[in-house]
Amino acid sequence: MTSLGQTSSRHADSFGVYIHIPFCHKKCDYCAFATWADKQSLVTDYMTALRTDIERVVRTGMATVDTVFVGGGTPTIVDPDALAACIELLPLAAGAEITVECNPDDVTLELMQRYAHAGVNRISMGVQSMRTSVLASLGRTHNVEHVQVAVAAVRDAGIEGLNLDLIYGAHGETLDDWSRTLREAVELSPTHISAYALTVEAGTPLALDAARHPDDDDLADKYIVADDILTEAGLENYEISNWALPGFECRHNIIYWTQGNYLGVGCAAHSHDNGRRWWNVRTPERYIQAVTRDEPTEAAGETLDIATRKRERLELMLRMRDGIEAHHLPIKDLQGLVTVRNGRACLTQQGRLLANGVSLKIIP
């Protein structure tokens, strides 16, 4: 049995760690993640549990960590020294990518300097939109004017990698609103932009309000605008919803997309080890209790059979720039949706809009 994180897959030889921070100032209307705005009294105990959990995993054997992603929730809520204490426990590879998600309103130069001192070299900022009316439609509370100040703080702290998260398709957002958001985001010179179509998740306030649900045709138009503007700015599309300057692709997410191995630490965090995947107890209370009692934090899991694992690999790889081996698709039936380069079938811009349909055509 190999140590957690070791893998024989030629598609992914890196190992990542995801650290989940489940606390928020306010839960957004579209969010279905395991996050809470009324549990901040648990922050100190939760961070202690994270540190204890990481310590015990490291003791039992962990491969060298190539990427760390701290997500949530809102990681900027917790004390940066407590977060640094968790990161420092990990057996980090030289040049490891370490990302922290940030709310623009929480970002200060001092906070970014403390992150940089802890080894953080990539910030993922939840901008979503540069239009105040669109943010209100999404249930977001941050101030658009703070985004530029926050980006400057990241730069001044010497953190090189900067992703801006954007969402399109909110009720009331015009094509001009979205174009202006993209252009203003590009003017901030990020190294990476993620642009996601608004998705209706069951149980969210958005799901309960049909009048605010996105329109598929509008989403398609806005995706094309995003791809055109971001490509013109020198950001290359390397996964359907992600664009980056060359060399600044998100290494952590690539582990997910290539079926690499990763460990999820914290409540509701997911892990994968050579075809077996599992997820932790959902609430911070149960996670703290399990760690305190030295009990497993795993809630459930599954092991994929070889055929399922291969199929998922093809579906994931199809979403990426290099695509999949051409013999896995009926190329003649997919004119305009895929192009063949060096024996690999890659989605065109139109194909990316219809990626789910193209993936149904995959020949295992």
21-71 pLDDT per residue, tens? 999 999 999 999 999 999 999 999 999 999 999 999 999 999 999 999 999
Measured distance CA(312)–CA(136) in Å, rounded? 37
Residues with Cβ within 8 Å of residue 152, at least 6 apart in sequence? none
Say whether 227 sits in a helix, a strand or coil.
helix
Which amino acid would we find at residue 320?
Answer: M
From the list 191, 266, 205, 269, the residue with the least C-alpha distance to 236 is: 191
Give the domain ranges of the chain: 15-257, 310-364
Compute the distance between CA of residue 55 and CA of residue 11 in angstroms, rounded to an integer. Answer: 29
CA 64 to chain centre: 21
What pLDDT score does 9 carry? 37
Low-confidence winner among 74-88, 106-120, 133-147, 190-204 (lowest mean pLDDT): 133-147
CA nearest to 258, candidates 327, 192, 329, 310: 310
Give Cα 311 to chain centroid, integer Å.
Answer: 22
The whole model's pTM is what? Answer: 0.95
Q: Poorest-confidence range of 25-29, 173-177, 289-293? A: 25-29
CATH, domain 15-257, list 3.30.360.10, 3.40.630.10, 1.10.10.60, 3.20.20.70: 3.20.20.70
Closest among 149, 210, 224 to 182, alpha carbons compared: 224
